[in-house]
């Protein structure tokens, strides 16, 4: 009997030892499942090159940053790729590139001279075209599955179904509509030739409010308070448009110099602009009272800067100028504090910067 008890005890000890051994082993993670932290970040800036002879193109400016400590990265190198669309598709855009934007998972290349928009995936491989447009200039997403396209010559907006990438209808605009923004279910568009601001209901695709405003309607943006800020350049003024009891109201403040390229940066709730008087970049609080602009970056080049782009992730600024006696353009990159970081060359005049 004692021998049997001893054998049972020995068996139990062996089972227990195996259980402990394999139990501990199961708690060791499989090396293939270990996720290592990312130590290099890559930032892409897309540059739409207008082109000089119907040869618009896309350049990508890349910055590579390496992790130096927790949540802190240090830039280690940069590179520029040109003719990105041509490399991806084996063909050129075939027209001057007026604007570039992204809606959902597609990029839209606006080709004004060719009366069309080319659609690509996120790898810039062509997936479709929207044709039979009239000198398109900009495309704005106004609702899920819907966009408006402005024109350089037509007195209407084209409504697009961008799920099928087809034209739906047009909306009369009394003149050429140059710039617009979306606030809730309204599209606010500027018609400078008629001194008119149009409010369009995007659900009904119809004009519901027409505001007369003289002074040279030039640009518009929507701020963090969901207010329309409109720049008028006849008497350089930044105006706020809003409704009070159904009435249209404007409150404006005079700006210094000769502003151009007004660009809003929501991360700072400030707007930036170029100044034609001294060819530098200025920054202003949205709620400034008058003048208000502070020097952001002093630019010592003789050629006129155009356009201005602000990176919404880090506050860096990009501006460019045409190189004298050449088709190519020099791009200047500034830190969020206005310090010149570096410069590089792209094939032709810059239409716009896009920050994915």
Burial status of residue 174 (CB atoms within 10 A of its CB: 0-12, 13-18, 19 or more): middle
Q: What is the pTM of this model?
A: 0.85
What pLDDT, on a 0 to 100 scale, did the predictor assign at position 13?
46
Over residues 11-29, the mean pLDDT reads 46
Question: Model confidence over 149-204: pLDDT tens digits?
Answer: 999 999 999 999 988 889 999 999 999 999 999 999 999 999 999 999 999 999 99
C-alpha closest to that of 96 among 112, 85, 107? 112
C-alpha closest to that of 106 among 126, 120, 89, 90? 120
Longest dimension (CA), the chain: 111
Strand order in the sheet with 186-191: 179-183, 186-191, 196-201, 206-212
For the chain, the average pLDDT equals 87
Let me know: does 263 contact 256? Beta carbons within 8 Å.
no
Let me know: does 188 contact 180? Beta carbons within 8 Å.
yes
**Which DSSP letter does residue 94 get?**
-
265 in the Ramachandran plot: left (φ > 0), alpha (ψ -120 to 50) or beta? beta
Provide the token pair at 143: 């609702």
Question: Model confidence over 67-100: pLDDT tens digits?
Answer: 767 677 777 789 999 999 999 999 999 899 999 9
Strand order in the sheet with 237-244: 217-222, 228-232, 237-244, 247-254
Question: Model confidence over 194-242: pLDDT tens digits?
Answer: 999 999 999 999 999 999 998 899 999 999 999 999 999 998 999 998 8
What pLDDT, on a 0 to 100 scale, did the predictor assign at position 249?
87
Which run of H or of E encompasses 209? strand 206-212
Strand order in the sheet with 106-111: 99-103, 106-111, 116-120, 126-130
Angstrom CA distances, 96 to 82, 108, 158, 178, stand at 15, 14, 20, 18
């Amino acid at each position: 009997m004692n021998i049997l008890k001893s054998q049972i005890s020995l068996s139990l000890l062996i089972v227990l030892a195996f259980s402990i051994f394999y139990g501990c082993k199961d708690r060791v993670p499989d090396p293939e499942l270990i996720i290592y932290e990312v130590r290099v970040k890559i930032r892409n800036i897309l540059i739409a090159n207008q082109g000089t002879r119907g040869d618009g193109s896309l350049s990508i400016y890349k910055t590579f940053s390496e992790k130096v400590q927790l949540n802190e990265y240090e830039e280690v190198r940069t590179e520029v790729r040109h003719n990105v669309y041509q490399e991806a598709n084996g063909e050129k855009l075939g027209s001057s590139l007026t604007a570039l934007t992204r809606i959902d998972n597609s990029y839209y290349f606006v080709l004004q001279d060719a009366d069309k928009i080319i659609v690509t995936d996120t790898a810039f491989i062509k997936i479709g075209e929207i044709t039979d447009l009239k000198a398109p200039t900009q495309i704005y997403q106004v609702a899920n599955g819907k966009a408006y396209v402005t024109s350089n010559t037509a007195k209407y907006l084209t409504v697009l179904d961008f799920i099928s990438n087809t034209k739906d209808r047009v909306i009369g605009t009394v003149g050429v509509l140059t710039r617009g923004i979306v606030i809730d279910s309204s599209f606010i568009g500027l018609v400078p030739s008629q001194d008119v601001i149009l409010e369009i209901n995007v659900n009904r695709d119809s004009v519901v409010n027409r505001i007369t405003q003289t002074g040279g309607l030039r640009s518009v943006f929507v701020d963090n308070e969901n207010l329309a800020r409109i720049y008028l350049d006849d008497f350089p003024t930044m105006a706020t448009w809003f409704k009070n009891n159904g009435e249209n109201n404007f409150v404006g403040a005079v700006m210094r110099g000769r502003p151009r390229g007004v660009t809003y940066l929501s991360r700072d709730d400030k707007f930036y602009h170029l100044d034609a008087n001294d060819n530098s970049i200025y920054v202003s609080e949205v709620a400034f009272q008058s003048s208000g602009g502070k020097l952001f970056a002093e630019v010592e080049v003789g050629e006129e800067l155009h356009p201005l782009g602000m990176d919404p992730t880090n506050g860096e600024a990009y501006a460019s100028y045409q190189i004298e006696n050449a088709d190519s353009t020099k791009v200047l990159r500034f830190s969020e504090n206005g310090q010149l970081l570096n410069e590089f060359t792209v094939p032709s005049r810059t239409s716009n910067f896009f920050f994915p």
